[in-house]
Amino acid sequence: MSIIEAYFGGLAAFFSIWIFCMMQVIPFLLAYMVGATLIGSASGKERITLFLTSGALVFVGFAVVFVALGTPTTSLSKFLFRHQGLLNQFGGVIGGMAGLYLAGILTIDRTAGSFKVIRPLAELLVGAAVALAYKPCVTPILTKIYNLSGVAETAGFGGLLILFYTMGMFTAIYALAAVILWAVSAKPSAMIQTGMIKICGAALLAFAFLVLSGSMTSYKSFLVGRFVPQQPGHVHSDGSMGGAAMDHSGHMDMDTK
């Protein structure tokens, strides 16, 4: 297993049947990246810069948590597992506040000096919150990676592979977000842009509801059960049939053949 294989494994998952499992994260990451860019800049280079920096911070927040959850022998992983319930609820609150902000219900003075600190922190926390709520289906590539990251002797290299897998995922998400922003910006219309921002806010509020109500597992079960072909011997972490899966206690359910 190489870092290149891990990267393209994450990228390829976006264009495979596994995208339905990734829908646990894709709509919400897109919602924040697109909504925060539209609401925070006028146009042109400023918008591009904001999109790149905001997306990078969301990626960092997501990657730190996702890598930690995939390396269960590390101290950070053990901390996250120990306090996962509380942290997940906190993440739901963060997602909800971001949704309220984009929906126009929660107002923040973007000219205030404190906003320059709040914004990047919020982006890191949104990424982390989505990663905490994510219950990934284990693709064949992830199976190989988790076999390495779950063992103390190879956890470091396994974590590096998870990072590159995440980079592959985000490459596709970044590209899709860029296309959406281009489409919205192609015909400058305040009504269209405002409508898109509110849609993004509604998506993040839906994320907050799923997390705070404990419905994320049911949401995953619906997606996987409805769209992913069932295969004998493969069981998801929530008990539904389909592809192999890992829950956030670090246990994997895979074909035992």
Is the pLDDT score of 255 beyond 50? no
Token representation of residue 75: 């101290």
79 located within any domain: yes
Token representation of residue 116: 């320059």
Provide φ and ψ at 17, rounded to 5°: -60, -25
Q: What angle do CA 244, 89, 253 make, to 5 degrees?
A: 10
- Domain, as residue range, for 41: 3-213
Beta bridge partners of 252: 246
Token representation of residue 18: 């596994």
Residue type present at position 178: A
Is the pLDDT score of 191 beyond 90? no
233 located within any domain: no
Is the pLDDT score of 245 beyond 50? no
Q: Distance between CA 28 and CA 24 in Å, rounded?
A: 8
Is the pLDDT score of 210 beyond 50? yes
Give the pairing type, strands 245-246 and 252-253.
antiparallel
Confidence of residue 242 (pLDDT cuts 50, 70, 90): very low
150 located within any domain: yes
Give the mean pLDDT of the chain.
84
49 located within any domain: yes
Is the pLDDT score of 67 beyond 50? yes
Beta bridge partners of 253: 245
User: What is the arithmetic mean of pLDDT over 59-68?
Assistant: 96
Alpha helices in the chain (DSSP H): 3-13, 19-22, 26-40, 44-70, 75-82, 84-103, 115-133, 140-149, 155-186, 190-212, 216-227
35 located within any domain: yes
Q: Which of 56-65, 197-206, 220-229 has the lowest mean pLDDT?
A: 220-229
221 located within any domain: no
More confidently predicted of 248 and 190: 190
Number of structural domains, the chain?
Answer: 1
Torsion of Cα atoms, 199 then 62 then 60 then 139, to 10°: -110
231 located within any domain: no
Residue 235 CB neighbour total at 10 angstroms: 18
pLDDT in tens, 115-146: 778 888 999 999 999 999 998 887 889 999 99
254 located within any domain: no
